[in-house]
Structure formats: structure tokens, C-alpha cells
Amino acid sequence: MDYERAGERARALVSKMTVEEKASQLLYNSPAIERLGIHEYNWWNESSHGVARCGTATVFPHSIGLAATFDGVLIHDVADVISTEARVKYNQHEKYGDYDIYKGLTFWAPNINIFRDPRWGRSEECYGEDPYLCGQNAAAAVKGCASAGLEVVAKHFCAQGETTGGVNASAARIGERELREIHLPAMKEAVKAGATGVMAAYNEIDGVPCHANEWLLKDVLREGLGFDGIVMADGVAIDRLDMLTGNDKAANSAYALNAGVDVSLWDDSFPHLEEAVERGLVSEETLDKAVLRVLELKFARGLFEHPYLEEKPLTEYNVPKTFPQSLEIARQSAVLLKNDGVLPLKKEKKLRIAVIGPNADALYQQLGDYTPPLRDGVGVTVLDGIRNEFKNADVRYALGCTICDDDTSGIAEAEKLAEESDLVILALGGSSSRFAGAE
């Protein structure tokens, strides 16, 4: 990509824009500016282990499973497949001028947070607890995504995995040494590999929210790590700066922009950027720098040229014959347990098996969050797998409890079933999906 030429074109374009137009380009769902040839663009797309929210796509093990392979080449292959499918989907949408949500070329992955507390509900999204391994995997994922022209937005910067009590977005109570030795290496590797986007983290570090932390986003990220791409906000995170401003949305936007955030997400604050400039809370020069980074990336990626390419369309996703490596990747991610007292189970025995838990018969939760929609008949739940393998067994199921509410009405049934069975297979865990239990 010719970033020098892209920079020249971006500067020429910014010089023709009003403050209102500039501010509009820093929204995640930025509108078109027809007089300047800028079409609308939505920055939101997910690809943690497959193109997540743009129709059917190939599903791979989630990040924590991929990390268990200890194979960077394999992770590169996963990202390469995701990149290929994403580009095909983008070309199909571009052909018809469809710039809606989940249809761009900027994908929010990989998650480079270090897994520090087993209670943290987003642990499945990251590559585990080892900074070196996370860094190597992040670099492999970034390079794989670049193979077909995806722009990655590595997240979350920084230390969101250092949760207090396992609560997502809680304060990261760490010093600078922990920050640099544990939490920065993975982002450093992602930047070196070519990540052109970084998403700021919800948490605060040493009392300062990451979205308002100029030292973190400028001194550490840009100066220290050499990052020169865009910094995105996480969802409604800029609105959470109300704690600093007393619910002044224009001041929130100024705090974030001055700290180094370029693009907002879902918040009610960045729509007040024009007001923030008028009130002198942020300079137009600072606004220009953010808009330049955004437009430069768009020019470099070719988003102004409508780069529809005639290429072989993919008609089948998540089938081995399309990407045969997907099955081997799933096999390599499995972690097996050995227990000579119970395992392996004897198929010929007429066992009474209780399968219990909210994730036992819920395919979406079993595969993890950010899972692409599946074709009918694709995927095997834990319950189905046990029934398929143990034809001679009496396999019974009980939900036991739910995930997203306090309903415990099924616990008594689960206890009774467990008492009547030879063994119990529990499928526990969580889900950050609001649809948990419905898919």
C-alpha cells in the first residue's frame, strides 16, 4: 500500500472539509459526503474465529482453543481463510454499493489481552496467559488477515484482561512494570506485524480511563511502539467519561480526541465534536490529525476506488471441501484429558449418562462468542455427540441452570438425574451473548 500517496490525497481532501464534515468521519458509521466523493462507511466487523456477522462463514476454534495448538503457522492459516472469505463478501457488497454494518474491510481482531483471571468472561477471545505466546499468535493473525487485504483493529489497549475480581471493564490495578512486561508485548508484536488499527480498552489504569489516557495512547502506543494507524473507541466507552465531565458529552469527546482516540463507537459523545471545537475544548488541528489518519487508511486500502474485483465467488462456507484445513485446525486445538479410573468410557457398556448444563445443548455457546451463523445441520452439540457415540447408553439431559439470569428452577431435576446416573458430563461456562440459551 502506498501510504505516502494516500497521505497526500487525504491532506488535500481534509483541506476542503468543514468542521462538521470532519467530525462526521470520526463516527464508526460515518456518513457519505457526496460533494467530496466520500461514500458511507461502517467500521464495525468481527472476525475472532470466523467472519462473525455477515452471513454464513467458516467457523474455527475460538482464540483460546487456537492458542492451545501452539502453532503460529496454523493461526496464520486461520486468518488467511477468514481474510479470503471477508474479501469475497466485501466484493459482493461493493458491487451493489452496500456499505451497511458488517460489510467493510476493517475487522476488530485479534484480541491481544492477557488472560489473568479465570472468572473473566471474555477469556475465550484471547490467546491465553503467556505474553510471548500471545504476541506470536497476534503477529501470525495480523499477517494472515493482510493476505487478502483486511485491516485489523487489535484490541483492547491496554490490560483489559487484568480485571479486578474477573469483572469485565473493571480497573486494572497494575504498575508500569506489569504493564510493560505482561500487557504490552502482544500489542508490540501486532503493531510490528502491520496492524493498522487499535481499539482502546474499557478499563482504567492507575485511575485514568484508557480512552482519556494521553500517556497511554500517545507516549506508549504511538511513540513507544511506533504505531501510526487509527485508534478506535470501544462501545459507549467515551460516554463513560461522564465520570470526568459530569455528563458533558462535548467534553467527553474532547477528552477522548485529545488523548488520541480517532473513531468512536455507539456513543452519544462524538456527535458533539463540532460543539467541542466551537467551545475551544479541542483544537481543529487535533481534529484534522484524526481525520487525516482515517482518510489515509481509506485511501491506502482503496476504499475510494470502489475496488470490486471479479473473482471466484464462494457459495459454500463451513464445509471441509471449501477449506479442508479447517477440520485439521479443529483437531489440533483439542486438549485431551487422561484418567485411567474413568476415561476412556467403554462404548459397549450400558451406562446411564447424565448430560447436564446450559452449554450442553446450545451450539452457539459451545462454539463461543463472535461465532458466525451456521448452516442448518452444521455442528454437533455436546449432548448430540454423546448420544451419537454411546448408542448402548441411556443418555438423559437436564439444563440445570441458565446463564444470563437467576433461574434455578432446573437444579432439582439435574440433581435427581445425577443421583440416578453412573456418571455425569457437565457442560458449564458462560456466554457474553445476549442470545445465550436461544441459539
Q: Find the catalytic residue in 71, 77, 80, 234.
A: 234
For residue 308, which amino acid is it? Answer: Y
The dihedral formed by the CA atoms of 115, 120, 124 and 130, expressed in degrees to the nearest 10: 10
Is-contact 186 221, C-beta < 8 A? no
Q: Which three cell numbers stand for residue 202?
A: 474499557
3-state SS assignment for residue 419: helix
Q: How far apart are CA 411 and CA 396, in angstroms?
A: 15
Kindly list the distances between the CA atom of residue 177 and the CA atoms of 126, 185, 213, 229, 377, in Å, as whole numbers in the listed order. 21, 12, 17, 25, 50
Question: DSSP per residue over 309-374, as a string?
Answer: ---PPP---S-TTTSTHHHHHHHHH------TTTPSP-TTS--EEEEESTTTT-HHHHH-TTPPPP
Instruction: Classify residue 361 by burial, with Cβ atoms within 10 Å: 0-12, 13-18, 19+.
Output: middle
At residue 103's C-alpha, the angle toward residues 97 and 108, to 5°, is 150
Is-contact 196 142, C-beta < 8 A? no
Question: DSSP per residue over 76-89, as a string?
Answer: HHHHHHHHHHHHHH
H or E stretch including 415? helix 411-419
Kindly list the distances between the CA atom of residue 136 and the CA atoms of 72, 127, 140, 160, 181, in Å, as whole numbers in the listed order. 7, 10, 6, 19, 15
Is-contact 296 228, C-beta < 8 A? no
3-state SS assignment for residue 242: helix
Reply yes or no on whether 234 is catalytic.
Answer: yes
Kindly list the distances between the CA atom of residue 43 and the CA atoms of 7, 99, 194, 230, in Å, as whole numbers in the listed order. 20, 10, 18, 11
Which is nearest to 253 in space by CA: 211, 301, 307?
211
Which is nearest to 114 in space by CA: 104, 128, 125?
128
List strand residue ranges (DSSP E) for 190-308, in order. 197-200, 204-205, 208-209, 230-232
Q: List the catalytic residues.
A: 234
